[in-house]
Amino acid sequence: MGEFRDLVFPSGFLWGCAVAAHQVEGNNTNNNWWKWEQEGHTLDPSGIACDHYNRYEEDLDIAKKLSLNTFRTSIEWSRIEPKEGVWSDKEIKHYRRVLEAMKERGLTPMITLHHFTDPLWFAEKGGWEKPESIDIFARFVRKVVEELGDLIPFYNTINEPMVYVVLGYAFGVFPPGERDIIKALTVAKHLLLAHAKAYRVIHEVCKEKGYPKPKVGVVHNMMVFEPLDPNDERHVNEANTSDAIYNRWFLESIHAGAVQPPAGQGEEFEELKGAWDFIGLNYYTRNICISSPDPTRRFNVVPMDAELTDMHYEVYPEGLYKLLVSLKKYGKPVYITENGIATSNDRQRCRFILRHIAEAHRAMREGVDLKGYIYWSLIDNFEWNEGFSKRFGIVEVDYKTLKRTPRESAYMYAEIAGKNKVTSDLMQKYLGRK
Cite the active site residues.
160, 338
Phi, psi of 127 (to 5 degrees): 50, -135
Pairing of strands 7-8, 421-422: antiparallel
Give the shortest CB-84-to-ligand BGC separation in angstroms.
25
Which of 244, 71, 46, 246 minimizes the C-alpha distance to 160?
246
Q: Which is nearer to ligand BGC, 4 or 53 (CB)?
A: 53
* 282 is a site residue for ligand BGC (CB under 6 A): yes
* CA atoms of 153 and 24, how far apart (whole Å): 22
Q: Residue 19 in 3-state DSSP?
A: coil
Residue 251 or 427 with smaller CB distance to ligand BGC: 251
- Using CB under 6 A as the binding rule, the residues of this chain from 164 to 223 that contact ligand BGC are 221
Task: Tell me how many residues contact ligand BGC (CB under 6 A).
Answer: 11
| Complex with ligand BGC: residue 259 or 381, whichever CB lies closer | 381
Q: Nearer Cβ to ligand BGC, position 353 or 364?
A: 353
Peptide bond into 212 cis (omega under 30): no
How many CA atoms are closer than 13 Å to the CA of 135, on its beta-carbon side?
4
C-beta of 44 vs 232, nearer to ligand BGC: 44
Nearest to 35 by CA among 114, 113, 123: 123
CA max distance for the chain: 64
Nearer to ligand BGC, 115 or 255 (CB): 115
* Site for ligand BGC, residues 346 to 385, rule: CB under 6 A: 376, 383
Alpha-carbon distance 249 to 161, whole Å?
11
Applying CB under 6 A, which part among 144-152, 156-164, 165-173, 192-200 lies near ligand BGC?
Answer: 156-164
Report the residue from 159, 260, 339, 343 that binds ligand BGC according to the rule CB under 6 A. Answer: 159
Which residues does 143 contact at the CB level (< 8 Å), separation at least 6? 80, 81, 87, 92
Which part of the chain contacts ligand BGC (CB under 6 A), choosing from 158-166, 181-189, 210-218, 393-401? 158-166
Chain centroid, CA 157 distance in Å: 11
Binding of ligand BGC at residue 163 (CB under 6 A)? Answer: yes
Show the binding pattern over residues 91-130: x = contacts ligand BGC (CB under 6 A), - = does not: ----------------------------------------
CA-based nearest residue to 380, from 348, 346, 414, 350:
346
25 binds ligand BGC (CB under 6 A): no
> What values do phi and psi take at 75, rounded to 5?
-100, 130
Minimum distance, C-beta of residue 392 to ligand BGC, in the bound complex (Å): 6
Residues that bind ligand BGC (CB under 6 A): 20, 23, 159-160, 163, 221, 282, 338, 376, 383, 392
